[in-house]
């Protein structure tokens, strides 16, 4: 039984979105499961003394350009959301809540939220918007909205976030395979090679 | 006549070193010349509000690990220099001074300095150390040391640095091909594809 690819992503990270569209094929090729782990970059920025990628004048401009050409290269629909960057607490809580059932549900909810946001440019920062996206996946709006206020669900995200920080997760997307970290969409080819060769 | 690959690198950047060992084959495959452009990250850090990669607790630890595995993957000798990070003004001036003859001389001097530093772990922060490395390439120590104090050489680096900043060069390595920017060793495969396809 091989270890899963642990996939860390922040819902307001457009590179996390691109990765979410690409990791499935890669994992399948190597017979690996994916462990979906949304997290919040806010505490990372605080710990590292950094800020949102797009807020840096030169790096931000480059990243926006790189994002669009990377999406074009891989044929992934991309549209800047109306609200960006945004607080992704509601989206991350929804994913963990859905993920209590199983990882397949978490994957579906993650992709529905990411596609609404960066594929269609919709705002997913508010609970009601998150519930609206999930209703397209067969969830009841009222049930989702209640879940997003549930102390247990809130705690789940908090614990996962602390755990990610303790593992040195500082960016989105980031992948861990048996403890080996890979950061960024540009690292997917190296992750692919690592899984193929067993590392070097 | 196709445009050259403009290669921006900071001498104290270990990823710049890896790129300097990899860009030659790539350029040759596409029949492109390389325009070697050492620059200083100091003014970039000031303009962007950032600092040396290695100074970030989590990103720094990740980057050190990533650097070593990337070097292993490509069979590039790597050793942390005794002084790191370091001021690379002398190294950058030496490269521009040598480059007045031609780009081949600049490439040779760049590789000699980078290999001494990150291949053998030698300190290249002082003028005398830079001159010592260049003496291995057939340059006279006294002539190099005099050149490093030459106001014209100092101005050359200053002008190049201003020019790099004005073009949005914010990291090392960074490549520009007909204005299209590619940042990082991990971007070399995309640069390769861009040159192969003419862009997308």
Q: Do A57 and B47 touch (CB under 8 A)?
A: yes
Q: How far is A122 from chain B (nearest CA, A)?
A: 26
Contact B200 A48 (CB under 8 A): no
Which residues is A9 bridged to in the sheet? A38
Is the CB of B80 inside 8 Å of chain A's CB atoms? no
Enter the tokens of residue A147: 């879940």
pLDDT of residue A52: 87
Contacts of B170 in chain A (CB under 8 A): 56, 58-59, 62
DSSP state of B23: H
Which pLDDT tens digit goes with each residue over B9-61?
999 999 999 999 999 999 999 999 999 999 999 999 999 999 888 889 999 99
Question: Is any Cβ of chain B less than 8 angstroms from the Cβ of A162?
Answer: no
Across the interface, whether the CB atoms of B72 and A200 are under 8 A apart is answered yes
Return the residue in A62, A72, A167 with the most chain B beta carbons within 10 A, the one to mutate for interface testing.
Answer: A62
The predicted model gives B109-125 an average pLDDT of: 98
A74 touches chain B (CB under 8 A): no
Q: Give the Cα separation of A147 and A151 in Å (integer).
A: 9
Check residue A50 and give left, alpha or beta (phi > 0: left; psi -120 to 50: alpha).
beta
ipTM of the complex: 0.95
The residue of chain A with its CA nearest to that of B59 is A170
Residue A120: pLDDT band with limits 50, 70, 90: very high
Global pTM reads: 0.96
Give the model confidence (pLDDT) of B160-194 as tens digits: 999 999 999 999 999 999 999 999 999 999 999 99
Determine, for residues B50 and A65 on separate chains, whether the beta-carbon distance falls below 8 Å: no
Q: Determine phi and psi for B183, rounding to 5 degrees.
A: -115, 125
Number of alpha carbons in the 13 Å side-chain half-sphere of residue B86 = 25
Contacts of B199 (CB under 8 A, 6+ apart): B180
As a three-state string, the secondary structure of chain A is CCCCEEEEECCCCHHHHHHHHHHHHHHHHCCCCEEEEECCCHHHHHHHCCCCHHHCHHHHHHHHHHHHHHHHHHCCCCCCCCCCCCCCHHHHHHHHHHHCCCHHHHHHHHHHHHHHHHHCCCCCCCHHHHHHHHHCCCCCHHHHHHHHCCHHHHHHHHHHHHHHHHCCCCCCCEEEECCEEEECHHHHHHHHHHHHHCCC
Chain pair A-B, CB pairs under 8 angstroms: 69
What pLDDT score was predicted for residue B86? 96
Report whether pLDDT(B135) > 70: yes
The pLDDT tens digits of the residues spanning A46-69 come to 999 998 888 899 999 999 999 999
């Amino acid at each position: 039984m091989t270890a899963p690819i642990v996939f860390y992503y922040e819902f307001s990270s457009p590179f996390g979105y691109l990765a979410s569209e690409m990791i499935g094929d890669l994992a399948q090729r190597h017979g690996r499961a994916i462990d979906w782990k949304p997290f919040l970059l806010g505490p990372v920025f605080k710990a590292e003394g950094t800020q949102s990628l797009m807020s840096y004048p030169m790096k931000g401009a480059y990243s926006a350009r790189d994002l669009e050409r990377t999406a074009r290269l891989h044929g992934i629909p991309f549209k800047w959301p109306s609200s960006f960057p945004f607080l992704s607490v509601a989206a991350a809580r929804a994913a963990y809540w859905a993920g209590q059932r199983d990882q397949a549900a978490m994957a579906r909810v993650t992709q529905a939220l990411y596609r609404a946001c960066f594929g269609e440019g919709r705002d997913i920062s508010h609970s009601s918007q998150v519930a609206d996206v999930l209703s397209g996946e067969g969830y009841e709006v009222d049930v989702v909205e209640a879940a997003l206020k549930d102390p247990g669900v809130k705690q789940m995200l908090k614990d996962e976030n602390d755990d990610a920080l303790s593992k040195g997760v500082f960016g989105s997307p980031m992948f861990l395979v048996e403890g080996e970290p890979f950061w960024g969409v540009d690292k997917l080819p190296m992750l692919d090679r690592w899984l193929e060769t067993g590392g070097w």
